[in-house]
Amino acid sequence: MGDGGLSGRGFLAGVFDLFHVGHLDVLGRARQACDRLVVGVLTDDWALDAWGARPFVPLVERTQILEHLRCVDEVVVVDGVRSEWLTGVLGVQTVFAASGTDGVLGADELDGIPGELVSVLPAGRGSRSQILRAAIDQRQSRSSVA
Whichever domain contains 119, its CATH number is 3.40.50.620
Whether the CB-CB separation of 46 and 77 falls below 8 Å is answered with: no
Residue of 2 and 19 predicted with greater confidence: 19
Using the predicted structure, report yes or no on whether residue 53 has a pLDDT greater than 80: yes
Whether the CB-CB separation of 40 and 70 falls below 8 Å is answered with: no
> Within a domain: residue 2?
no
Task: Report the predicted TM-score, pTM, of the whole model to 2 decimal places.
Answer: 0.82
- pLDDT-based confidence at residue 3 (cuts at 50, 70, 90): very low
> Within a domain: residue 3?
no
> Within a domain: residue 1?
no
Amino acid identity of residue 56, one-letter, is: F
> Within a domain: residue 4?
no
Share of the chain above pLDDT 70, in %: 77
**Lowest-pLDDT choice from 37-41, 52-56, 68-72, 92-96:** 52-56
> Within a domain: residue 15?
yes
SS3 12: strand
Whether the CB-CB separation of 97 and 122 falls below 8 Å is answered with: no
Phi, psi (deg, nearest 5) at residue 42: -75, 140
Q: Which domain holds residue 62?
A: 9-145
Order of strands, sheet of 74-78, starting from the edge strand that comes earlier in the sequence:
74-78, 36-42, 9-14, 92-98, 118-121
> Within a domain: residue 83?
yes
Number of folded domains in the chain?
A: 1
